Amino acid sequence: MDSVTMVGIDLGKHSFHLHGQDRKGFAVFRKKLTRKQLIEFFAKFHSCTAVMEACAGAHYLARKLVAMGHEVKLISPQYVRPFVKGNKNDFIDAEAICEAASRPTMRFVQPRTEAQQTLSMLHRMRESLVHDRTKATNQMHGFLLEFGVSLPTGLAVARRLPALLVEHEDLPPQLISLLERLHAHFKYLDGQIAEVEKMLSRQVHADDLGERLMTLPGVGPITASVLCAEMGDGHQFACSRDFAASLGLVPRQYSTGGRPTLLGISKRGDKNLRRLLVQCARAFMQRVDKYPSPLADWVRSLLTRRHSNIVACALANKLARMAWALARHHAVYDPAKLRPEPAAA
């Protein structure tokens, strides 16, 4: 056991499968442990490298093992799958994790802190509440349309639904009762979303990085808090283009025979963060004439040659790069320049 340098852990809800190997890659042991046994095992085990897939529970376990003196590496599951040999079971998955982590060019995921995980959960909760509110709004519109009442789209109409029902006295009483129930549910969801957004706003304003990210054009508390949760300090990316590529904001390449072929954006990585950055770009493009800066000049020049959708993706890419520069170099955004300047010591 003293020769073990790397332990692959196949995570589960109640049971964990371990594969230990030495410096040369030969298997030393295989174990199946419960959650309590796993913590006790690593508490007594000598310092080694523990590798896991970046999935549910991985970040919490990574923080626990780092506190015990072990080195932890998280791998995206898509990079582990090609190393599964033959049939699939939990021990083979743990071995495949070790095989993937042994590659010198393997990409790893940086473990998140508790604050980053909490911020990410707040965003997931907000996204779920917004989905439910949209569903309730669509139901109200659909029920009224069945009885010949067509209302304009938007949340403002849904919020003043009781006043609109007074104008249509010929509607069945049961329908009005159902719509009142739906409107009460809509108001509850609307209030919950407002509370979550207040929590997000307070948290991002209390964070130094969040304050600096909100100085970027078009970036508000929601996008800044998502960037804080997903990007962190930016040390896991070698350069700004790597961060933009991780979000799928760079062209997809299909080159062969020495002839480079660039397609549309790859759309890899976090779909929600990519969508928010594109929305920030569109918000900036709508008011581009009000921003006398080199960035605005670049956008206006690009709009004369390319479609607005292409410009929005290009600007989202640049915003992602600027956000990485602010985080990585502890810089502040200067509208007079395309590149952020380092903050004063």
The parts of the chain modelled with pLDDT lower than 70 are 337-345
Q: What percent of the chain has pLDDT over 70?
A: 97
In DSSP terms, which residues pair with 21 in a beta bridge? Answer: 6, 27
pLDDT the model gives residue 345: 37
Q: What is the C-alpha to C-alpha distance for residues 83 and 77, in angstroms, rounded to an integer? A: 11
Q: What is the C-alpha to C-alpha distance for residues 286 and 55, in angstroms, rounded to an integer? A: 38
Q: Per-residue pLDDT tens for 208-228?
A: 888 888 888 888 888 988 888
Structure tokens at 311: 């410009």
β strands within 201-321, DSSP E:
251-253, 262-265
Structural contact between residues 186 and 137, judged by C-beta atoms closer than 8 angstroms: yes
CA terminus-to-terminus distance, the chain: 48
Among candidate residues 188, 131, 196, the one with its CA nearest the CA of residue 159: 188
Q: Per-residue pLDDT tens for 112-127?
A: 888 888 888 899 999 9
pLDDT the model gives residue 337: 66
In DSSP terms, which residues pair with 17 in a beta bridge? Answer: 10, 32
Q: What is the C-alpha to C-alpha distance for residues 108 and 74, in angstroms, rounded to an integer? A: 5
Q: Per-residue pLDDT tens for 85-144?
A: 888 888 999 999 999 999 988 888 888 888 888 888 899 999 999 999 999 999 999 988
pLDDT the model gives residue 330: 82
pLDDT the model gives residue 339: 55
What does DSSP say about strands 4-10 and 15-22: parallel, antiparallel, or unpaired? Answer: antiparallel
Centroid of chain to Cα 218: 18
Per domain, the residue ranges of the chain are 4-101, 114-205, 217-342
pLDDT the model gives residue 332: 81
Q: What is the C-alpha to C-alpha distance for residues 98 and 21, in angstroms, rounded to an integer? A: 8
Supply the DSSP string of 164-184, one letter for each residue: HHHT-TTS-HHHHHHHHHHHH
Domain 4-101 CATH (choose: 3.40.50.11810, 3.40.50.300, 3.30.420.40, 3.40.309.10):
3.30.420.40
Q: Which residues contact 125 (CB under 8 A, 6 or more apart)?
A: 196
Supply the DSSP string of 9-77, one letter for each residue: EE--SSEEEEEEEETTS-EEEEEEEEHHHHHHHHHHSPS-EEEEESSTTHHHHHHHHHHTT-EEEEE-H
